[in-house]
Chain A
């Protein structure tokens, strides 16, 4: 089996941005699968930790008023 890809390449795999050779290696390598699981856990945590922020009604009103000008 080819040598393991760099951390940065596995990181790209988590985001669906890696090349096919990395993907092929990943399919057969338990160590890389473990690393990708760790990266996925961090990715999910970042996505979930961001509290929903909603625009204030005043801001929306101001922008809509600007639109009508």
Chain B
């Protein structure tokens, strides 16, 4: 694979990688640093990428790896994430969630509800729903088992249902037809 060819494709994903970094760090300056670090590593090790078709997932994998390292350094702890209830029953959705109410909630409110999810759930669900990665690709990016990805995405959506329903009730949001 030619360096120029790789560089052109990798830079084509810059906006997406920046958006993913922003979701991880929540700070524009930190996100830019993380993206620089990611691309520097990618440029140095581009020869390790066997298939250019996997370039985007490979960049995300580096990004998440670097983000995890940074977080570990800051926390001085051996684990990146505290997984609360990884195998618990909290993936059950609320029985009374009304999907039509979502359309009446402002996007910025939905965004802040997503931001409030535990980082491991937020990361998995946004890699799936925003970036469009498959479960297998997410497992590779996050370096975790496929079952963990399945569980995190299900739990993230169940939690979002609970929070969105609660938000709609708090704000008195009702169906148009009601």
Contact = CB atoms under 8 A, between A and B. Distances in A.
Interface residue tally of chain A, by bracket? 20 to 34
Given A38-B161, A53-B18, A47 B129 contact: yes
A49 B114 contact: yes
A17 B92 CA distance: 19
A8 B135 contact: no
Contacts of A40: 99
- Chain B contact residues, majority secondary structure: helix
Contacts, number: 110
Given A7-B92, A49-B114, A42 B15 contact: no
A54 B92 CA distance: 36
Contacts of B164: 42, 45
Interface of B: 7, 11, 14-15, 17-19, 22-23, 32, 35-36, 39-40, 43, 91-93, 97, 99-100, 102-103, 105, 107-108, 110-111, 114, 125-126, 128-130, 134-135, 150-151, 153-154, 157-158, 160-161, 164
